[in-house]
Chain A
Amino acid sequence: MTTEVTTPTSIEAADHVVRLRSIGVAFGGLRALDGIDLDVAPGERLAVLGPNGAGKTTLFNVIAGDIRPTTGSVVLCGRDCSHLPSHARPALGVARTYQKTRLFSNLTVEDNLYLAQTGRQRRHLALFVSERDRSLRERAREVAHRVWLGPMVDATVDGLSHGQRRQLEIGMALAAEPDIMLLDEPASGLSRGERERLSELIEALDPAITLLLIEHDMDVALRVADRVVVMADGIIIARGNPDEIRSNTLVHEVYLGREGGR
């Protein structure tokens, strides 16, 4: 059933930052993920494609620790963290965005970006504002500018448009200065122009950052990614570079055929 298009170099990569081995996730009787093996090399840009219900977000939840896998192991940066709670993973350099934005809606853009940075720091239980917090806020404003939210930096999230919230989602991941960035459909609901800007932003990321990207929009995904995995029904049905995926018939059948190239 699976015709894998493999690129030997990447799967054999010795120094991976993400290594998943036979990951399975079951919700009751439903197998959301089944026997997923995946390695991601440092600095690699991996796009995860697949139709709705393929298990893409579940895969991200497993990597970020929001869900404990039923079977299998998760190794991040050489450390087995199958049992590490989600709040301990940012320390390993993991940052993620959410498909449905998860922002602090009563706080300002600056506050959001400030919190995105402090999570990894020990001082986040401090009861007094210090010089460090001021510099973190300074950086929060810089990040806001980077995601084109400069003018809105003091507005609460409630007052942001949908597109601005998506920009802030990315900003949240950027502000954490991660080694591994998980972007879950960052372009969903954006206009064509906004997608363009988003692609530019992602392309401009520090090449040292390992990027995993779930994206429905093939243009964005294939433009940004070095490598693509395609999922359906909880398994990986194809792997390869963008060109190989574009020409894969099975992928067309289950995914592109239905959705079209847009």
Chain B
Amino acid sequence: MIKSQTRRRLRKVVAAATTLTLIAAACGGDDDDTADEPAGEPADEPAPEPSDEPADEPADEPADEPADEPADEPADEPADEPADEPADEPAAEGGSLKLGILGECEGAFGGFHEDVVAGVSLAMVEDGGATVNSTTSALDGFTGANVAGLDIELVGIGCGDDTADRIIQEVRALVEQQGAEVVIGPLSGDESIAVANYAKDHPEVTFIDGIAGAQETTMQVQAPNYFRFHGDGAQWNAGLGDILYNEAGWETAAIIADDYSFGWTSAAGFIADFCAVGGDVVSRVFPPLGTTDYSSFVQQLPDPDEVDGYFWVVGGTGTNAALEAFVNAKGDLTGDQHAGNLFFSPALASALGPDIAGAYVGGFASLPADIQTPEIEAYLASADATWETLAAGAAGGEVGPPSVALGFGFGYGYYAAGKALNQALEAVGGDLSDNHAALREEMSTMTLDVPYGEVTLDENRHGIITTYVQQLVLDDESGEVVAETIALVPGVDQSFGGTFSPDTPPPDRDNPSCETRDLPWSGNAIPVVDGVPQE
């Protein structure tokens, strides 16, 4: 009896302590408005904290509380401490810039958190002389970055989960709590629309998009302090229609695309391009997001003898399932009768066999691995020199060479954003006055020089980019299906020659309609042979 009584008391105390700890942490965090970068903070005060919460904890629930392992603490992160203070001192000449990153630690793209933080970090290492805090994880951040006399201080890494609600909370924490003056991110489309809307209400902060592909973010929202140095989902499919119509002989095409904004936008890029040169889209089918059985949607598509080809925008595991449903309903695949956006990859062959060879694939943010230029090689080498290994989302979360993370679109998009900030800061000498007026003017007008091709911005501060078209082919030697780049398409802008404008409806099930028009890049595609652009 007495024993159970005591135990009950003890439990109460533990529960109370947990609450108090949270509250204490909250108050602490709040005072930290001026605070330091995230990795530095816990290490700053190892001594006072444990004595704050006296003996109740360690006794009961050792697993709960960290108190029993304070000894690990200093050993774990030796890198922060020395780097922290000394780097702050010489800042007298310039001042500082608080930088926040909006990453993605949960949700569909949660695996790419390392990749995107690595992207920004690498830009700071290259241009600001920063050192990374860990050679095996980018998430520990960097210290000692100084660009154009400004100390770049990483105040926080936001953790999105692919939802707009969450990213708003994260960006508010970065801006309103941590005081970030420049935010790089977010990663995905719906998030970027929400952040761009948020940007409108915070004119004092400059936002540089990470790698989000929604068209509205820049075209409709048009926040004057939101910059995007890459293309949207539609632009990534530019040039594909031109090649299919003029070289593969498609005159009609059917579309099957995920029924949400990225699916619509990605399909819109193909439709605008294919119709502009004279092709006709005869059928559009939109399976809801999360569909697992595609048979009823595939049935709605015309048969292979009724149409010249099919364009697929079905994400994730849906690509495989949808194509298998197609085989069941309409017979074997004829590779060159199919095209897809970035979701098409050689991996499809493992389930569908070599029949998929011949299919055409739209581009993404960075150039594919079969194209190598000196700039690209130098870029990937600098990544490998900065970290020993990274658990890159681009490598499926496997620990591997950092260049894998940086060579893929997600990491590269964030890298380009960091480079853009640095290049603009250098150009204006670190002038942040008047709500970053000079910096923004510079970013709007400069030509960003990054390894996978130069980028300039349009009047909506959106990238005019070089994209590419690939084809899945059978490798002569191994007999496996590989992706081969067949063309580069330079000068792709968001408007598709006027197909899209702030006044047109955003891409949806019915938009854009199929019309011929002149596209600036029609006929300008640069053929690529064996990874070498034929200028």
Direct contact of A and B (CB under 8 A): no
